Every structure is written in C-alpha cells, then in structure tokens.
Copies of this chain bind each other. A is one copy, B any other.
C-alpha cells in the first residue's frame, strides 16, 4: 500500500515533462533550467511528493538505515545508548533498526543475519557476553559492511570503537572502597571473554595491588549471562557470602548485575553497607533513591551512542575505504552515595 500516491511519473505527466527531467530538477541538477526546477519543486511541494525510499534504495544500493545489536533494550544503560544513537542517526536522515541478543551467541548471529538481509548500511554492535567467536562479524566487515563497536568490543576486529574508561572506572571505584575502610573487596562481573570484563577486572586488580592487597581468585565471580540469569548471579553472591573471610564490599561490573545484586542482598537481609558495601557500574536514574542510595560508576551512555553513530556514518559516507580507525574512550564518573559509606565513623 502506498500512502504517497504521487510519484515522479505523475509529476512528469502533469507538467508535460519527462520523468528524468523531473528527477533531475528535484535533485537540483545543473542540467535543468532554473525555471523548470522551480516549477517542478513547487509542484512537488504542493502535492507533498516524497520519493519512494524503496525505489531509491534499490537504485542507489543503500537503505539509509543502520542496524543496532544490544543485549537488551530493557536496560537503562542500553536504552540510553540507543537514545543517543537514534538521535544522531535521525538528524542525519537515517533510521535505526534495533535487535536484542539477550546475551546469546546464536541470537546475535541470527540478528546480524536478519539485519544484513534488511540491507543495512552499517552496524552498531555491543557483542553478547556469550560470544567468543567473531568470525561472523569479520566476514561481513571484509565484504565491506561498516561496523562500529561500542561498549563490548572485539580486539580481533579493527574498526572504530567507542568505550568508556573501564579500567579507570573500576580502579576509581575500588580505590574509593579501600579509602572508605573496606579490605575484602569482591568483584562480580560478566563473561571472562568480554573486553569490558577484562578492563574492569584490571582496574580492580590494579587498585588492590597498588595498596599491597592480595587478589583472591575466590573473590572474583564471573556470570556468563551478565546477570540476566538470576540463578547464576545468586550462586555467585552465595559463594561470596560463604567465603572466608567474608567480603565486606562488592564491586559489580554491569548495570544488570548491580541492580540484581542489590535485590538479592535485600532478599537475603544482608545490610548494605553495614554487612557488605556495594559499588557498581550502573546508569539507573534511581541511584539516589535506592535503599541505600547506590554508589555507582556512571557511563556517558547517550554520548557513547551518539559518538558511535557519528563514527559509523562517517565511514558510510566516506568516499574512500577507511583504514585508520579510532578508539574513543569516554570517561566514567563515580557518584559516591551511601552504599559505600565509610567504615571509619
């Protein structure tokens, strides 16, 4: 069904011009006289002519839409990122098509396939925690699909990447816990394979090492599904609470893990921060009104999305193949609240 009944053909017929003249007039070609251009444009304007995007896409070979793959849209961090993407894409006349991997490798592959099938002009992707192999992406890139990674990037593929200072954020959070008098700091994080996990882990380790504190393997828990699977997380929390000496603080490495951990601690009647302090990466707007208010490492989510999209569009619009890639690292911000209140007083 077509809701813009009027086509370039209609205009041509009406104005006694050829289809190509109308097309060129509309595209402001030098081949067409000012008079005719004006005539055509005014007619088009008046009749609310819109070029059929599908015909244009077919002809031009691009679809003016970009694909997005995130783990879950129902997540404050990602919805804010997408917000930024939608904003930038929209302002440049592009649509975004969003898909969710739910942290599953299979779904990710399937989604990417679906997007390609939909003829996207570029891909913005934060790879699923489950994904270890990125061959499916590499192949696409080699075939010429512009890809920009954000958040969870792959070291194996060279392209633009937008991440935050994960190492710094985790380091800062851990140091803050140490400064507040916590000694036995545990770390709950996502899949080992993820770039984000590695960097945050490194920040955590660095902070401990710097203070001469032993890094205990049993204090580090990996959740393959990034907190989506509550059972998995609960097991991690239980194990931490059962270890000797029991950790007096936990650093959680992602939005979902942070909020879910908080929920679990509540259910178990573990007091925060008296029994165990909590600091986590999170973008929830509710950090202030949580019980207790949550010390969080906040990421500039909107800006991540905006920047990643800007870079993707720059590749898409580039005349010559892009070979120099940029690695943008945005700063995180530590918001200190009650969940990590100082032990000293």
Which residues on A are within 8 Å of B, measured CB to CB? 1-4, 50, 52-55, 57-58, 61-63, 65, 72-76, 79-80, 82-83, 86, 90, 95-100, 114, 116-119, 121, 140, 143-145, 259, 262-263, 266, 284-286, 288-293
Main secondary structure of the interface of A (DSSP, over half): mixed
Which residues of the partner chain B approach A263 to less than 8 Å between Cβ atoms? 285-286, 288-289
Q: In the complex, what's the smallest C-beta–C-beta distance from A331 to chain B, in angstroms?
A: 21
Are A72 and B83 neighbours in the complex by a CB distance under 8 Å? yes
Which residues of the partner chain B approach A266 to less than 8 Å between Cβ atoms? 288-289
Q: In the complex, what's the smallest C-beta–C-beta distance from A60 to chain B, in angstroms?
A: 9
Q: In the complex, what's the smallest C-beta–C-beta distance from A40 to chain B, in angstroms?
A: 19
The chain B residue with its CB closest to the CB of A78 is B79
**CB-based closest 9 A-B pairs:** A291-B291, A54-B57, A54-B58, A74-B79, A3-B143, A79-B79, A74-B83, A262-B289, A1-B144
From B76, B99, B144, A86 is in contact (CB under 8 Å) with B99
Are B100 and A97 neighbours in the complex by a CB distance under 8 Å? no
From B50, B95, B97, B119, A54 is in contact (CB under 8 Å) with B119
Are A86 and B100 neighbours in the complex by a CB distance under 8 Å? yes
Are A116 and B83 neighbours in the complex by a CB distance under 8 Å? no
Q: Considering the chains assembled together, what is the distance between the CA atoms of A263 and B290 in angstroms?
A: 10
Pick 27 A–B contacts, CB within 8 A, sort by A: A1-B62, A1-B121, A3-B116, A3-B144, A4-B117, A50-B116, A54-B58, A54-B63, A57-B57, A58-B58, A65-B97, A73-B79, A73-B82, A73-B86, A74-B83, A79-B79, A86-B99, A86-B100, A96-B97, A96-B98, A98-B98, A259-B285, A259-B289, A262-B289, A284-B286, A290-B291, A291-B291
